[in-house]
Homo-oligomer: A and B are copies of this chain.
Amino acid sequence: MSCSLDILGDRWTLLVVRDLMLGRSRFKDFVASPEGIPTNILSDRLERLVTNGIAEQVPLADGAKRFGYRLTDKGRALRPVLESVRDWGLAWEPGTRVLMKPGDA
């Protein structure tokens, strides 16, 4: 648990993972999410996700020079964590709404 929380234990990391799980892959998409992550934090979190093997960089389109981000298997394995956090919020925190639906990506 402690090791997991060294990686996941902050306000932003799991939100980025959620966006990745929803299929978003580009910097601007993460920035556009309703929570409004600061760009320097996003840079740092993406870098950490990559170094921790949770996400990886991929070329965006054929021959494009930009890159996007995508979850690895290790990253996709976080789905139960995201779902349990979401479900707990829905059940116990009033005014919580769903951004990630059960069947996504």
Complex Cα–Cα for A93 and B2 (A): 11
A35 at interface by CB-CB < 8 Å: yes
Question: How many copies of this chain are found per oligomer?
Answer: 2
Q: Which residues of B contact A4 (CB under 8 A)?
A: 85-86, 88-89, 93, 96
Q: In chain A between 53 and 105, which residues have their CB closer than 8 angstroms to a CB of chain B?
A: 53, 74, 77-78, 80-89, 91-93, 95-96, 99-100
Q: In the complex, how many angstroms separate the beta carbon of A60 from the nearest chain B beta carbon?
A: 26
Complex Cα–Cα for A89 and B6 (A): 10
Q: In the complex, how many angstroms separate the beta carbon of A99 from the nearest chain B beta carbon?
A: 7
Complex Cα–Cα for A34 and B91 (A): 31
The answer to whether B100 and A1 touch across the interface, beta carbons within 8 angstroms, is yes
Which residues of A are at the interface with B, using a C-beta cutoff of 8 A?
A: 1-12, 14-15, 18, 34-35, 53, 74, 77-78, 80-89, 91-93, 95-96, 99-100
